[in-house]
Amino acid sequence: MHHTIPSSLRSVAVLIAGTVFMAASSLAAAQSTPQPVERTPGAADPAPVHAELVGVFEDFGGRPGLDALMDEFMTILLADPRMRPFFEKVEHDRVKRQLAEQFCAILGGGCVYTGRDMVAAHGAHRIDRADFNALVEDLQIAMNRRGIPFRAQNKLLAVLAPMHREVINR
């Protein structure tokens, strides 16, 4: 028995196959767009874009400046006895990259933040207000060492400050 498909039906089959292929490839394109890996229901956007802060992004030296800032920041955190217990066991390169991505995205630099939301990122650690303040102090030391203008530092800190609600969990 032969399964010859009439030519009129064959072109319909090609059309359907083509449509399915196109749908599959646009799905693949959508899936390849980096998304935060873990989202806690109800958690705030971990990287809200402030397009008006792109001048501040430039003051930080763009993405290369943020990467250099995170090297300095992690060095300071690991040398600080208050912060070392939190950071000594984490993957430093990953956390530095995710921090640079997050700050770059927030400051309108066009980066895509690929890390977890702030609840998920910090849930495994017990963090109180003193811990939060100590981390901000170390960030300020890092920014000063990098020569970031004070006004630019404060613009960034103003956007980070509300995140204490999701970072502090005790």
Residues lying near ligand HEM in the complex (CB under 6 A): 86-87, 90, 95, 98-99, 102, 115-116, 121-122, 124-125, 127, 131-132, 135, 160, 163, 167
Of 59 and 131, which has the nearer Cβ to ligand HEM? 131
* Nearest residue relative to ligand HEM (C-beta): 115
- CA distances, 18 to each of 6, 29, 30 (Å): 18, 16, 18
Output the smallest distance, CB 58 to ligand HEM, in A: 20
Of 17 and 139, which has the nearer Cβ to ligand HEM? 139
Output the smallest distance, CB 70 to ligand HEM, in A: 10
Geometric angle at alpha carbon 99, from 94 and 104, rounded to 5°: 125
Output the smallest distance, CB 88 to ligand HEM, in A: 9
Output the smallest distance, CB 166 to ligand HEM, in A: 9
Give 115's Cβ-side CA count (13 Å radius).
23
Of 98 and 153, which has the nearer Cβ to ligand HEM? 98
- CA distances, 21 to each of 12, 16, 18, 27, 28 (Å): 14, 9, 5, 10, 10
Of 59 and 100, which has the nearer Cβ to ligand HEM? 100
Of 56 and 121, which has the nearer Cβ to ligand HEM? 121
The DSSP secondary-structure symbol of 123 reads T
Output the smallest distance, CB 109 to ligand HEM, in A: 15
Residue 46's CB is within 10 A of a number of other CB atoms, namely 23
CB contact set of 101 (below 8 Å; sequence gap of 6+): 47, 111, 112, 113, 114, 115
Residue 117's CB is within 10 A of a number of other CB atoms, namely 22
